[in-house]
Structure 1
Amino acid sequence: MCLPAPDGELLRRALDLEAAARLRARWLRGAALNAALLLALAADLSCKCAGYTSALHWVELAAAGVAGANLLRLALALLRPAPPPLPLRAAQRRLLARARDDSFPAVEESFAPESAHSASSASCPSDELSLSLSPRREWRPPPSPPSPPPAHDALAPERPPRDRFIADRRSLADYLQAYSERQEPPAAPGAGCWVPAAAPAYQLAAVDAEAGADEGAAGADALAAAWARLHLDPQRLTQFNLNLRLWLHVTILSRLVREMAAVDVALARLGLGATLGELAPERLRVLARAPQAPPSLAQLLPFLEPFPNQRYVVRRIRELASGGCLSEYRWNGGGADWDEGEPCDAELVLHLLATYLDSQLPAAAPGLRPFSAAHISAAPAPPARPLALHRVSLRPPHYVLALGADTLELARGRNNLLHSLLVFLAAAARAEPPALRRVHLGPAGLNMLWIIGR
């Protein structure tokens, strides 16, 4: 694992400082113990009792000399200047689990310039930035700026008392009608008051272009029941959905595209005259075992080889990574040239996620994919597993969550896979500690806990 130079030096200094603090604590305890022993021996030597012999006198005198020498040595060691405190940002303090240690004073959190990030990443060779590595630092989307306090204007329209969950067109129409009824008519121009500009019209996203079953109110109720069972707030589902899309884009898709571009450059240097997507999986497997092959090719193969049409899969991965937050995601379709013989986006995204987690978790047996074997199943096999994503149908793709002896049926349609992954993550996070096969779900492991705000 290759850390950028500043972070690697910071980690080394933090470990050295913690070891020095533990050593000084041991010296202090030893000095106190030797001082107490020396005082006891000195008191006994000064007040000799009846029956005191010369042999006992010399033994106590020798013990007092040893205690005094130890006390002098430890006192000299404690007089040495302590190492300077190590300033850490708040995120670094949390990651090092030293938030309550006075030896690590906090400094103001700031964003490093882009040049600093590029310089630190340049210290690692490209083959070290492989897909088999866990995220190297805690990543979260940039926080939104705090909203200004609302102005107390008598002409401002009254806001609805609370938000409501909008599940379909009818609930949206009812909400918009209730909101319009609460608005007061604007004052006439020239009346000496400020007239706000007209708000843009709210338009419903065109989701009917994607084929598949309508999610509807029944699906929303099923998802709300699943969230209630896992003790999470269903009102935050939209934010969880966005967080999951961000994690998939940053952790898997962007890194995949980077590694595919690096492999294409390496293949061009070998003079093959072809790139990923143009070579058959069998030839790629043979090439990955060659000494001159790029190191990341063997790690890329599990992401690509299950699909026969490599050209489409490589191009579709790049398309999904081109827009942030999976904006090109089509749950029951794919790219412009997609047909029924190609994997739909839901199937492709689940395969990429499962393959990535297979590379992170320790294998139970050689050749066995730890995440896919334990947590992925498909019909007609029954989902008889403690925690698994079970595919009920392939066209259209529909997944359910196997939770012990129960099966949680979630909403059908375009959000079925994303919601299933969120519920799967929430169920896995209930364990103490929250982990998959001893790999923590927090920032020191897979960095997935922040998706559901735990």
Structure 2
Amino acid sequence: MSCGVSLGPANRMFDLWIENLRYWLAQTVMQRVAKEIHNINRELRNIGSDETQIGEASVSALKNVAFVKNSFVPTLNNVIPYLEVSSNQDYLIKRISDLGNDGCLADFNWDGGCAHKGKPWEDHLPTDSAIVMHLLCTYLDSRFPANPKYPDGKAFSAQHFMAPQAKPNFDQHSDYLTIYQTKVNPPHYKVVIGNDIYDLPKGRNNLFHAILLFLHEIKTKHNGMLGNVAFGTSGINILWIMTHKYR
């Protein structure tokens, strides 16, 4: 099913929503993660663990550090899920910092990234779309209450995001809602609402279109709630992006 103009607003208003979303993603997610990584690396240096800096050590090595030295770096366990989108940690950490640096994802490259170690971006590295989507899902995971059905702490991701290898289950209830990634390179996202799959325009704004349709459905059909999690001002505070200008 083609989404077309189902989000409703005129193009100018929709462009404003995208702008607001980019600000929110950069400042609420990317900058916060980058800042926490910086703080953790500082603490690791302070305790003599220079060889296990985030961006240099593997995710498995960081998990071991988080277990052994939890009292020194208590927030490391919270950051590790954000790092699982790529095994190339030095590239990932640089890209997270770059994307949050200007506060509006100005450097966002939907189907690529940036040069790495003097070489152009190649498709063994994650696209910016993949990084932003993973960090958004991980952030929302952190805001959802613990659920014994999802002991890995991914209550949002498990219920509301589908990777390309997954297939929608059309036996779901009518208020089923998920973002569905159908391609990795170039990245493409759709939204599943009930038993319908809504396709969205391809290209540089596809990621933002998918997130906005997902949020619009929460706002207009779910009273601003996803389960018992508020997406409005009393909770995650993201629904404002569809009402007024950021600044």
State the TM-score, normalized to the length of structure 2: 0.87
How many Å apart are 1:264 and its aligned residue?
Answer: 1.1
**Alignment pair present for 1:288 and 2:49:** no
Cross-structure match for 2:54: 276
Residues 1:373 and 2:158 are matched in the alignment: yes
Aligned to 2:114: 335
C-alpha displacement of 1:432: 4.7
User: Match of 2:228?
Assistant: 438
* 2:7 partner SS: helix
**Match 1:322 to one of 83, 90, 101:** 101
CA apart distance, 1:444: 1.5
Distance 1:380 1:294 in 2: 35
Aligned residues: CA RMSD = 1.7
* 2:77 paired residue among 298, 301, 312: 298
**Structure 1's 238 and 261: CA in aligned 2 closer, same or farther, altered over 3 A?**
same
1:410 alignment counterpart: 200
* Aligned-partner Cα distance in 2 for 1:392–1:354: 16
User: Looking at both structures, which has the greater relative contact order when contacts are Cα pairs under 8 Å and sequence separation is at least 6?
Assistant: 2
Question: Is the Cα contact below 8 Å between 1:361 and 1:436 reproduced in 2?
Answer: no
C-alpha change, 1:432 and 1:396, in structure 2 (3 Å) is closer
The 3 A distance-change label for structure 1 pair 294 and 416 is same
* CA distance in structure 1 between the partners assigned to 2:238 and 2:10 by the alignment: 17
Q: In the TM superposition, what is the alpha-carbon distance from 1:324 to its structure 2 partner?
A: 2.2
CA contact (8 A) 1:319 1:328 kept: yes
2:107 match: secondary structure: coil
Partner in structure 2 of residue 358 of structure 1: 141
In structure 2, list runs of 5 or more residues that go unmatched.
none
Shift of 1:281: 1.2
Residue aligning to 1:139: none
The alignment of Structure 1 onto Structure 2 pairs a total of residues equal to 230
Pick aligned residue for 2:131 from 332, 348, 356: 348
SS in 1 for 2:5: helix
CA distance in 1, matches of 2:3, 2:242: 15
Q: Which stretch shifts more, 426-435 or 278-287?
A: 426-435
Q: How does 1:381-392 map to 2 (within 5 A)?
A: 381-384=166-169, 386-392=176-182
* CA shift for structure 1 position 226: 2.3
Query: Which runs of 5 or more structure 1 residues have no equivalent in the other structure?
Result: 1-221
State the Cα deviation string for residues 245-303 of structure 1 (Å, max 9, x = none).
Answer: 11111111111111111111101111122321111111110111124431111110000
Q: CA deviation at 1:368?
A: 4.7
| Distance in 2 separating the partners of 1:297 and 1:380 | 30
Is the CA contact 1:243–1:451 (under 8 Å) kept in the aligned structure 2? yes
Which runs of structure 1 show a deviation greater than 3 angstroms over 4 or more consecutive aligned residues?
232-235
The 3 A distance-change label for structure 1 pair 402 and 297 is same
TM-score under structure 1 normalisation? 0.49
